[in-house]
Amino acid sequence: MTLKGTFHGLIAIFGWALFVYWWNRVLPQIDSKDAVIALVFISGTVLITVITTILWVRYNIGIFRRKGPRRNLTHVSENHGTDFLGRRIEPPGSGSLKAARLVIVSLEGEVKKYEATKG
């Protein structure tokens, strides 16, 4: 077991001990109706979490069965001429935008412009 795993285990044990401690402090102060409501709420939360997790795992398994295992990265087009909405991008003038302290992005009609300033 790794140091990280041991640390996580200790945190989990401490969390459960704290949970039990506080329940033992609270239970004598409430009646049985309030305790039942709390247990129903906790049980419902656990049930919803488990069902949601199972459905999410089944969804991902379905994707895997349809598409198979990932063997490479998805191809991404490096088109710098337009943005994702299809507007034309006018390249900046001289200088690099990476070195600029302030970059102004403006839209004139369907043309997007980037300007580096000395800000």
User: Whole-structure pTM over 0.75, yes or no?
Assistant: no
Share of the chain above pLDDT 70, in %: 97
* Structural domain boundaries enclosing 87: 77-119
User: Are both 100 and 52 inside the same structural domain?
Assistant: no
pLDDT digits (tens, 9 = 90+) for 60-84: 999 999 999 988 888 877 777 888 8
User: Within this chain, do residues 15 and 63 fall inside the same structural domain, yes or no?
Assistant: yes
Is residue 9 domain-shared with residue 63, that is, in the same domain?
A: yes
In this predicted structure, what is the pLDDT of residue 95? 66
Residue in the structure block whose two tokens are 């034309």? 88
Is 63 in the same domain as 90? no
Q: Compute the residue count for the chain.
A: 119
Q: What's the rounded mean pLDDT across residues 20-38?
A: 87
Kindly state whether residue 72 falls inside one of the protein's structural domains. no
Do 46 and 84 belong to one domain? no
Q: Is 115 exposed, middle or buried (0-12, 13-18, 19+ CB in 10 A)?
A: middle
The whole-angstrom separation of Cα 108 and Cα 15 is 56
